[in-house]
């Protein structure tokens, strides 16, 4: 064996966690070295499984369990993405109305015809100008091909 590793752990909470686990498993391991080696092996297995899908499952039921777990993770990810997409769309909608309102107010100022505050607050100027609405529709058609 040519490769050897020495590891230093400075995180006090992690050191305490290791010590507590080792105390619970002291009768299983002859020393801390085999304990650490097994911790590293199990950690590497978990990392390989989570990041690369590599698993040492040798039976069909274990494979079904892995598929079920993966499906749960995918379902949770889809729910998170859906929530994030809805929040993003809501924010974009509010920003579009705000920008349209600003555009229309600036247009009114350039015409020396300032917009009344009540009209602005009631949303009278929130609609996207037709020229920009047409551009938005064209872009959506290009993106989604509808």
Residue-wise DSSP of 49-62: IIII------SHHH
Provide the mean pLDDT of the chain: 83
Q: Give 32's contacts (C-beta < 8 A, 6+ positions apart).
A: 22
**pLDDT value for 22:** 94
Q: Mean pLDDT over residues 139-146, rounded?
A: 76
At residue 121, the 3 state secondary structure works out as: helix
pLDDT digits (tens, 9 = 90+) for 2-42: 888 888 999 999 999 999 999 998 888 888 998 999 999 98
pLDDT digits (tens, 9 = 90+) for 37-73: 999 998 998 888 888 876 666 677 777 887 888 898 8
Six-digit token pair at 102?
A: 């600003």
Q: Categorize the per-residue pLDDT at 92 as very low, low, confident or very high, splitting at 50, 70 and 90.
A: confident
DSSP 94: H
Q: Where are the domains of the chain?
A: 84-146
Q: How far is the C-alpha of 28 from the C-alpha of 48, rounded, in Å? A: 26
Pick from 32, 30, 36, 62: which is nearest to 49 by CA? 62
More confident residue, 62 or 135: 135
Give CA separation, 146 vs 78, 89, 128, in Å.
24, 19, 21
pTM more than 0.85: no
Q: How far is the C-alpha of 126 from the C-alpha of 119, rounded, in Å? A: 10
pLDDT at 146 over 60: no
**How many other C-beta atoms lie within 10 A of the C-beta of residue 129?**
13
Angle at 19 between CA 14 and CA 21, to 5 degrees: 95
**pLDDT value for 1:** 67
**pLDDT value for 54:** 65
Q: Mean pLDDT over residues 112-132, rounded?
A: 76
**pLDDT value for 18:** 94
Q: How far is the C-alpha of 99 from the C-alpha of 93, rounded, in Å? A: 10
pLDDT at 112 over 80: no
């Amino acid at each position: 064996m040519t490769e050897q590793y020495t590891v230093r752990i400075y995180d006090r909470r992690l050191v305490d966690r290791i010590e507590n686990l080792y105390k619970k498993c002291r009768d299983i391991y002859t020393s801390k070295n085999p304990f650490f080696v097994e911790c590293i092996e199990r950690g590497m297995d978990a990392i390989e499984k989570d990041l690369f899908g590599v698993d040492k499952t040798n039976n069909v039921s274990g494979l079904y369990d892995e598929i079920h777990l993966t499906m749960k993770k995918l379902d949770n990810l889809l729910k998170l993405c859906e929530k994030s997409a809805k929040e993003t769309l809501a924010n974009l909608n509010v920003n579009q109305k705000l920008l349209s309102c600003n555009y229309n107010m600036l247009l009114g100022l350039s015409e020396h015809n300032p917009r009344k505050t009540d009209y602005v607050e009631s949303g009278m100027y929130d609609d996207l100008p037709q020229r920009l609405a047409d551009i938005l529709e064209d872009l959506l058609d290009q993106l989604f091909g509808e």
